Amino acid sequence: MSERGDDVGKPGLVAERSVRGVCGALAALVGVLAMAGVASAQTASGVLLEWRWNAGDERRYVVDSTVDQMFRDAEAEESDARRIRVTQTLDIVERVVGVEAGGVATVTHTYERVRVSGEDRGPDGTETFDYDSALRRGSPGPGAPATGPGTPTTSTPRSTRPDPRSVRPGNIIREPVPAPGGAPQTGQPGQPGSARPGGSRPGAQDDELHPWVLPFAALAGRTITYRITQDGRVLECTGADEGMEAMFRSLEGDGPLNPLTMLFAAAVNNDTLAAQHQSALQLIPGRVVRPGERWEMNLTQTLPLVGDLHTDITCRLASVRGYDERRTATIENRGEMRLGGGDAGAGALGGLFQVLLTSSRMDGTTEFDVQGGFIRSQSQRLVSEWETYSPDFENLDRMGEARKQVHRIEQDMRMRLER
C-alpha cells in the first residue's frame, strides 16, 4: 500500500514517530464543535441551553478528524518540505447508564470501531498506512481479502529503513509533529532509521503497531466511563488507563520499548481525558441564552514536551430553528491558542527543544438539540503555524547550533449523530 517517489501525494503520533500517535490520539478524542440554521420568530425570549442526561439514553456518533502538516528546515525550499496527512474515524456509542439522586450521571463512551489511514510524504519517498479495527477482529467488508482475528491491514515501509534497533537516541527530538490542539510534538516522520514503538523491524503486517495507529488501536472496543454533574463537571473518568496498559502489554517481547512510547500514557489517561471532556462540556453554558448573545470558554491543556496550551474561545448563539421539542440551536465559535507556562518558556528536555506558536485561528459551529440536551453535529477547523528549535543530530559538527524548523498544521474535525 505504499509507493516511492516525489509524485505521490496526509490526524489525527519508528523511535521518533511514536509521539505522533500521542497527538493523533488526543487530537481525535478532544474534537468538538458544527453547522448553521435559520432563526425562528419564537427565539426572541431566549432558550435554555443545558446538557440533559436521562438514564437509558443511547446515541451513536461518528467522529472524523483529518490533520495535514507541512514542515521544513527554515532555510529549505517549500518543495523540500515533508507533508503528512492522517485521517481518523471513530465510531463512538454514548450511553447514559444511570443518574443518581443528586443529578450525577454515569455516561459511557464505547469505541466500537477505529479507522486510521494516512501517508507520510517526503524527499525520500512516501509511506502509507491503513488500519481498521473491524478487519482486525476478523470482520472484513464485502470484497475485502480474508483476514483473521489479530490480522491488521497492511502497509509497506520504506525499503531504505535500516534495523531500528540501531537508532541513535538523539533522533527522538529531530522533527516535531502535531499534537492535540494542533501543537507540534517531537518526532521524526518518515526518517530512515526510525523504529516503531516496540523497537522491532517493521514488516508487511505492521499497521496496528504503526506509531500513528497504536493509541487508537488500544482504544478499539474499549469503554471510557465518566461521572458528570448537572453543571458539566467531570468527577471521575475510568477506562483509559486500562487501554494504555493493554497497549504496553501488546508490545511485550517485541524488543526494548522506545522511551517515547511512554508519552502515550502521559497524554491518554484517565486524568487527561477527564479534563478534556470537561472542557468540551463548557460549550453549553447551562443557562438561558438569547440569539446573538456571546459567552467565553477558556481551556488549558498540558502537552508532553511542549507545555501549557491555552485556548480562548468566544461562542455565540447564532440562531434557533424549529418549534417545541424539535428546536435546534446553532452555536458558532471563534478562538485562538497561545503557549505559556510548563516547558514552553525554557524548552523541553533540559532546554534542548523549544516550541513557539506564531499564529493560530479556529472556527466552527455546533447544532444542539434544545429539548434533548445533546449535540446533533459539530465541525471545527483549526489552522496554526509554529517554529521549533532543536539540536541538529544529523550534523554532529553543528551540535551547538539550534536547528530551526517551521510548521503549518491544518486540522478539520467533524462529528455527526447517526442515531
Number of helical H runs and strand E runs in the chain: 7, 16
Say yes or no to pLDDT of 94 above 90: yes
Strands 82-99, 287-289: parallel, antiparallel or unpaired by DSSP? unpaired
The answer, yes or no, to whether residue 332 has pLDDT greater than 80, is: yes
Higher pLDDT, residue 125 or 180: 125
Which has the closest alpha carbon to 227: 405, 333, 108? 108
Please provide the DSSP assignment of 347-365 as one string: -HHHHTBEEEEEEEEEEEE
pLDDT digit string (tens) for 64-84? 999 999 988 888 888 888 999
- List Cβ neighbours of 24 (8 Å cut-off, separation of 6 or more): 11, 12, 13, 67, 86, 88, 116, 212, 215, 216
Place of cell 448537572: 230
Question: 178-187, 260-269, 407-416 — which is least confidently predicted?
Answer: 178-187
Structure confidence by residue, pLDDT tens digits, 158-176: 333 333 333 222 222 223 3
Q: Can you give the three-state secondary structure of 383-398, one letter per residue?
A: EEEEEEEEECCCCHHH
Strand partners, 314: 296, 334
- 3-class secondary-structure state, position 212: coil
pLDDT of residue 290: 96
Task: Give the three-state DSSP class for 333.
Answer: strand
Question: If we measure between CA atoms, which residue out of 31, 119, 117 comes closest to residue 382?
Answer: 31
pLDDT in tens, 335-392: 999 887 544 444 455 566 788 899 999 999 999 999 999 999 999 999 999 988 877 7
pLDDT at 250: 63
How many Cα atoms occupy the beta-carbon half-sphere of 249 within 13 Å?
A: 7
pLDDT digits (tens, 9 = 90+) for 390-409: 777 666 666 567 788 999 99
| Gap between the Cα atoms of 255 and 209, Å rounded | 13
Query: Cell for 282?
Result: 463548557
